Amino acid sequence: MINILIVEDEKNISDLIKINLTDAGYHCSCAFDGGQAAELIEHNSYDLILLDIMLPVINGYELLEYIKPRDIPVIFITAKAGVEERVKGLKLGADDYLGKPFEIIELLARVESVLRRNKKNDRYLEIADISIDTLSRIVTRGEDTITLTLKEYELLLLFVRSKNIALFREQIYEKIWGDDYMGDSRTVDLHVQRLRKKIGWEDKIIAVYKVGYRFVVNS
């Protein structure tokens, strides 16, 4: 799931942003001053930061200098919405700039655009009841982590990226093991059985007679 840090000292605005981003499927944390934000950034990983400029302790411009080496995209959200301030923020390295007051629909569009531009959405795959972090190779269901071997993980990615497509055993073997298929299906079948059991997808990864397997999921 995409992690977003909201740095906003006005709690009613922070709550409004958090509620709407959470409803849109993002995971949000909040900081109410620049010092608290710096502490959270030091100890956590974020995919996007929504940053006010006029903050207690450390202002948004100073905090942006702290954020930049970490390669986290930033959207300034601020009442300081004049041309001069926008130019300054963008020159300092902000990815976008949204003036207050703003419409939630515009905020959501800008968040999606910045994440797409920075390819942050490519890191996560969510399908059925499973979430996959392709950078850390962590697979979760809700709050629970599912432990997979390397081959089981690669097999899961293959099925997820080929949903509703029948895959021949030869294809599966060559993509996962990198060798020419020698006609022995036991290796493929054993790994598929283990994967289905671990993630509870016995009814989703189905055997296709004389072919191989297909991952069946509604779009």
Q: Phi/psi at 209 (nearest 5 deg)?
A: -55, 125
Of 3, 10, 16, give the one whose Cα is nearest residue 102: 16
Tell me the one-letter amino acid at 219.
S
Chain centroid to Cα 190, Å, comes to 31
- The region, left, alpha or beta by phi > 0 then psi within -120 to 50, assigned to residue 200 is left
Taking only the tens place, the pLDDT of each residue in 95-139 is 999 988 899 989 998 998 898 887 665 667 788 888 888 878 899
Query: Do residues 73 and 114 make contact, with C-beta atoms less than 8 angstroms apart?
Result: yes
Taking only the tens place, the pLDDT of each residue in 58-90 is 999 999 988 988 889 999 998 876 777 777 777
Note the pTM of the prediction, 2 decimals. Answer: 0.57
List beta partners, residue 29. Answer: 5
Query: Do residues 188 and 172 make contact, with C-beta atoms less than 8 angstroms apart?
Result: yes
